[in-house]
Amino acid sequence: MGEVFRSFSGLMGASMTLAFSTELRLVACASAETYAAVALAALEDGGLPGLLPVLGGPQTAERLRRMLPPGIVAARAETAVPPIATGGAVSPLDQLAARADVDADQVLLVERDTPEAAPAAFYAAATGRRLVQVGDLSAFPRSLAGSKGALVSGPAARFDKEMLARLLDWVQVDPASPGSLGLLTARDATQLSCVVAKLLVGRMRHAVGQYLPGPDDSPHPERDAGALEYDVIGAHGNEIHLGFRQDSVLCGRRADLEPRAAGFDCGRGCVLNNRVDAATLSATTMFLMSCDAFAPAEGIAPSDFSLLFRLLDGPTAAVLAPYKHIQANQPLMTLIRALAESGYPLGEIAYILNARGNGGVLPDYGFLVIGDPDLRVTPPTGATPETVTAIETDRGHVIRGDLRAGTKAVTITLPHAAEAGAQAVLPISANTRAENGFFLLGQGGGGRLDVTLFREEGFDPGPLEFALMPMARVPDRVIDEGLTALRQTRLIEEVFGRDAGYDAALENLRAFLDMAVTSPRPIEWMAAQQRMLLADVSLSARLAQVRACVADLSLSALATRRVWISQDYTTLYGDVRRAGPACDHACLHCGNRAVVWRYKDPITRLPDRDVSICNRCGIVSDVPTRPSLVAEMATLGRVTQARTEVEVTLTNRSDRPMGGSMALQVNAFEEARVQSDGGRLDLQLAPGERQVHRVTLIFPETMPDDIMSVQLFLIDDDLALSFYSQKIRAMIRASAPSVD
């Protein structure tokens, strides 16, 4: 089978040539030449430890100093002065570029003769990358072919939407691409030099195992609440604004920008009282799940209002975000957190987010990284590579491995497993069978298939085992049964309303049907394969949950009011008329004539219903025109004993097993103080089977004589609601016989 484990999270990326120092000197440099000279001094063996150049004046260095994580490093700001020399036969810029002219498989591609070239060259030399200088970044495929990791640097204006789309198409599809890509750019060279300094400080910290707290450890992510290693924000937004927390708006406008009388300025007449300056966020790495958040080149608004660049004005050194509109949902947010918290590098996280697809599901590349794609926000976890094996069988692959503690996401690669058609994970080990686990597949070059498992709560450490096999298909019959039942819920909710239990059960049913109808999906439940292989059982269990909740709702309604369901659902049916003499019948309880009215819904196609109205008893039944499960209440007539038994006969008229939930009581039973020993009754009938059940009603011995209605609600597996009623004369006498 060959090597079966491939994960960027197993690669350490480019190596640092700067030693970790708890004492940093942030040196303000007025020119690129001075910047390069300070950078060379920092890189020299036995040179100046902790020396970091910054383009700009003393205020820039001081502002950067205040952003660095307190308690981790101590920094002081200063201005470049002799003995740092900027003269000589070879300029410091050329010397700095030469320091990065190394034989390395990690490449930093930069546009030469731009203000951004000096910070880019310093970062390449400091991280052991090979610097490649070109006159035109658009030729990047030729310059980066064969590299194991790529950083592309240049003025922000170079990275317009067209360029970003080309970069993503290349890195995701071209077999010669590294699969890991980052952009090293900023609003201007000064900001980029600060980004480089922050990235290097982060790499120094991580090299000695120092990671800041994550967002779960700090409820208030503004800078004064303490530095964070990373944060994840998912909300509606655009390139200048983003929904933030519960009721705030994250703003990208530069704080030092003078109000503009003409031209674009969102600050002119701003009415946002809940505005939060993006530069005040405390995370060194940001995951932004907001459409168009990644916009380095001037987009619809000028760059002075860019949310992306305003984040980089603060402690943030790296951002992963989409450059266009994305289809986001909660599983996607869970995936991002799981990958981040399992120590995946940013480049691999972006690659996985872009590559997700399964059996004809086309990926839509949208996620990019500003900053180092090798950056991690936690130490790596995942599977121990040497333990991972894959056994090929005639039904698929069985994958085994060993998970480290703290793993929330793991990626395993099968070199030759990419096949036409949808694939699914079948959990085998206990940690893969845990609730709320997801998987996604990514098609790679050469038939490679990347399988990523993730779970918000994390996986228990220890043996990992699952199968990868063709995705099961749910029979059309099962889907039709589920959709038919789902249509009935409109009538149910019109009559009884909803409660939390019903909503949860209905959502469980909808989730199963969504999975059955739409699979394969880019992100899928790990339990999906088992549920689809056992589709009949899966559907029956969910329908049973819903019908039980409906029976409980009917009892709640009966407790306080007199329920005649046709009066509640009549607005759903546009065609109400007598069914005709052939459908009329004698009342079961009194023998008088009962007229049948038929309710039809010609617009939304709710099932037809027949309402039988007795001349003496009123409504005696309200049932589907062709019910699968029918009930018959024994006639009570005059009730004289406090404990009175009601016999109910149920018949399954269908040709398949049918479950049902039944509730029987008198109307407004709480006010009447009538109790029951039955409550809700759940039952199961074989095709053609008849069952007899008895429910005891307990009347108060001191109640006044009254005319009451005994009402029976029956909900079957199709969620078809049937209603039966009979009137009784309640004359409770302690010594009288039960029924007259």
User: Encoding tokens for residue 552?
Assistant: 């409980």
Residues 635 and 10: their CA atoms lie apart, in Å, by 75
Rg (CA), the chain: 35
Residues 486 and 195: their CA atoms lie apart, in Å, by 54
Residues 586 and 615: their CA atoms lie apart, in Å, by 10
- In the chain, how long is the greatest CA-to-CA distance? 121
Residues 6+ away with beta carbon under 8 Å from 90: 98
Residues 378 and 342: their CA atoms lie apart, in Å, by 7
User: Encoding tokens for residue 408?
Assistant: 């929330």
Q: Would you kindly state where each structural domain of the chain is located, as residue ranges?
A: 480-543, 555-730
Class level of CATH domain 555-730: mainly beta
**Looking at this protein, which amino acid is placed at residue 26?**
L
Give the pTM: 0.82
User: Encoding tokens for residue 63?
Assistant: 């502002």
Residues 247 and 270: their CA atoms lie apart, in Å, by 16
Which residues of the chain are modeled with pLDDT < 70?
1-22, 45-49, 70-74, 81-89, 217-226, 359-360, 383-385, 416-420, 444-447, 734-740
β-bridge mates for residue 664, sequence order:
712
106-111/130-134 β-pairing: parallel
pLDDT at 4 (0 to 100): 36
pLDDT at 66 (0 to 100): 87
Residues 42 and 48: their CA atoms lie apart, in Å, by 5
- CA dist list (Å): 736 to 640, 641, 644, 705, 730: 6, 6, 11, 14, 12
pLDDT at 82 (0 to 100): 46
- CA dist list (Å): 143 to 82, 110, 260, 362: 38, 10, 42, 28
- Does residue 349 sit in helix, strand or coil? helix
**Looking at this protein, which amino acid is placed at residue 556?**
S
Residues 284 and 659: their CA atoms lie apart, in Å, by 56
H and E: helices and strands count for the chain = 16, 36
**Looking at this protein, which amino acid is placed at residue 128?**
G
In 3D space, the residue among 41, 117, 318 whose CA is nearest the CA of residue 202 turns out to be 318
pLDDT at 424 (0 to 100): 92
Are the C-beta atoms of 76 and 25 separated by less than 8 Å?
A: yes
For 295, list phi and psi in degrees, rounded to 5: -140, 75
For 206, list phi and psi in degrees, rounded to 5: -65, -35
